[in-house]
């Protein structure tokens, strides 16, 4: 019987061309596929959670693979480590649900970037940190880092040649610690764009050197232009520390930045397959991507419909399409059923979110539903 195995993978990336299979050099994925196939005596292809770049290290990358071999899941890591090179080690192995995917499950990724900031380099630090002899002002970098925390369009901090469609990500925490001559930048986020962490580090270094004032980082973020940000810091200073997968959806998901503000009630996705999405404010140029991104995320989390309301301008219309999803006016019966899911406390929270008639005379909020066109729900 086929089963899916989850691996926690650590590696020194110095001698590898990143995670993903390539023609120009040896990769972590290539080595894992080869050694797993040899161990289990069947073709194996792993799926990695984070496709780290050439030279990037990891303490807790995640990968899965399918196998029909009867070997106990928790013993695979021990057996596999016997054949792996010393710079790759599997920290644990366990069986997971057959449809569990490491890149589709909600998680918080944590990266660390290390800078050795002293007059003369130390040979023992050369593989795992970036050496900078110019004194860096930690307090100024911390102030600059505060502008990056939250949900934003990080296009300025993404390699220009990247073909990703949506450059919005959420950075939950960004801390900078000083331990002797070592500076440790720690990034915790929902996901990261290509070279995003390394470009943020390069930009913060410019602040630390006095080239940029801390407030300029907010201007770089708003510009959505890679040319405005600093250099891409070298790969060797970067380590993927770990990935924390979400066990339960938070009741509310909320975002408020200079470009948009919204609330999503998620507590009824699992039981009622319904999410509630209320947009309080959004710039016109961000509207379509904001709606599509959050509807899609709700469906990924298990919703079969999303109750919608634009509290600012009433921009939803019957028949509008956002990717695979279509907007339809909600019927009185559908509205009653949706509202019936809400607890009294949740209804009170919703009322607080909605605009006051005194503040917005003549504006009536209309409710809509977003449904998946591919599931025959229309």
Q: What is the mean predicted confidence (pLDDT) over 167-191?
A: 97
Q: What is the mean predicted confidence (pLDDT) over 231-248?
A: 95
The whole-number pLDDT of residue 351 equals 86
Report how far Cα 350 is from the mean position of its chain's Cα atoms: 27
Question: Is 269 in contact with 280 (CB distance < 8 Å)?
Answer: no
The whole-number pLDDT of residue 93 equals 97
The whole-number pLDDT of residue 378 equals 34
Whole-angstrom distance, CA of residue 199 vs CA of residue 373? 39
| Tens digits of residue pLDDT in 206-229 | 999 999 999 999 999 999 999 999
Residue 165 backbone class (left: φ over 0; alpha: ψ -120 to 50; beta: rest) = alpha
Q: How much of the chain, in percent, has pLDDT values that exceed 70?
A: 97
Q: Would you say residue 263 has pLDDT above 80? A: yes
| Tens digits of residue pLDDT in 9-18 | 999 999 999 9
Question: Is 365 in contact with 311 (CB distance < 8 Å)?
Answer: yes
Question: Is 315 in contact with 277 (CB distance < 8 Å)?
Answer: no
Q: What is the mean predicted confidence (pLDDT) over 261-286?
A: 95
pLDDT band at residue 363, thresholds of 50, 70 and 90? Answer: low
The whole-number pLDDT of residue 365 equals 79
Q: Would you say residue 58 has pLDDT above 70? A: yes
Which of these, 180, 183, 157, 177, lies nearest to 168 by C-alpha position? 157
Whole-angstrom distance, CA of residue 169 vs CA of residue 265? 19
Instruction: Give the bridge partners for 305, in sequence order.
Output: 274, 371
Q: C-alpha distances in angstroms, 334 versus 258, 275, 306, 338, 369?
A: 34, 13, 11, 6, 9
What are φ and ψ of residue 335, in 5° steps? -65, -40
53 among known catalytic residues: yes
Q: How much of the chain, in percent, has pLDDT values that exceed 90?
A: 87
| Tens digits of residue pLDDT in 321-358 | 999 999 999 999 998 999 899 999 998 998 888 876 54
Report how far Cα 309 is from the mean position of its chain's Cα atoms: 26
Which of these, 196, 216, 199, 218, lies nearest to 207 by C-alpha position? 216
């Amino acid at each position: 019987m086929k089963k899916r195995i989850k691996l926690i993978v650590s590696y020194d990336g110095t001698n590898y061309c990143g995670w993903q299979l390539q023609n120009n050099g040896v990769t972590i994925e290539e080595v894992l596929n080869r050694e797993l196939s040899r161990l289990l005596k069947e073709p194996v292809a792993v799926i990695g959670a984070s496709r780290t770049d050439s030279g990037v290290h990891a303490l807790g990358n995640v990968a899965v693979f399918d196998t029909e071999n009867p070997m106990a899941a928790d013993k695979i890591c021990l057996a596999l480590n016997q054949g792996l090179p010393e710079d790759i080690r599997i920290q644990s192995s366990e069986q997971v649900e057959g449809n569990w995917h490491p890149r589709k499950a909600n998680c918080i990724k944590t990266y660390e970037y290390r800078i050795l900031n002293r007059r003369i380099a130390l040979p023992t630090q050369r593989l795992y940190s970036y050496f900078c002899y110019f004194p860096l002002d930690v307090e100024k970098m911390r102030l600059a880092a505060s502008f990056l925390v939250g949900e934003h369009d990080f296009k300025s901090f993404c390699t220009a040649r990247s073909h990703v469609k949506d450059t919005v990500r959420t950075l939950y925490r960004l801390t900078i610690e000083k331990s002797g001559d070592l500076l440790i930048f720690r990034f915790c986020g929902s996901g990261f764009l290509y070279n995003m962490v390394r470009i943020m580090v390069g930009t913060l270094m410019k602040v630390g050197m006095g080239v940029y004032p801390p407030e300029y980082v907010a201007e770089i973020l708003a510009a959505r232009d890679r040319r405005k940000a600093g250099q891409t810091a070298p790969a060797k200073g970067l380590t993927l520390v770990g990935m924390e997968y979400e066990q339960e959806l938070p009741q509310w998901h909320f975002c408020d930045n200079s470009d948009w503000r919204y609330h999503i009630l998620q507590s009824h996705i699992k039981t009622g397959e319904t999410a509630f999405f209320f947009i309080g404010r959004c710039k016109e140029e961000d509207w379509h991507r904001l709606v599509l991104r959050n509807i899609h995320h709700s469906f990924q989390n298990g919703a079969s419909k999303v109750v919608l309301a634009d509290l600012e301008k009433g921009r939803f219309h019957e028949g509008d399409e956002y990717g695979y999803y279509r907007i339809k006016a909600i019927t009185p019966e559908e509205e009653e059923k949706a509202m019936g899911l809400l607890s009294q406390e949740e209804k009170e929270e919703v009322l607080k979110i909605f605009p006051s008639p005194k503040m917005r005379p003549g504006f009536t909020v209309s409710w809509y539903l977003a449904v998946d066109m591919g599931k025959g729900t229309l």
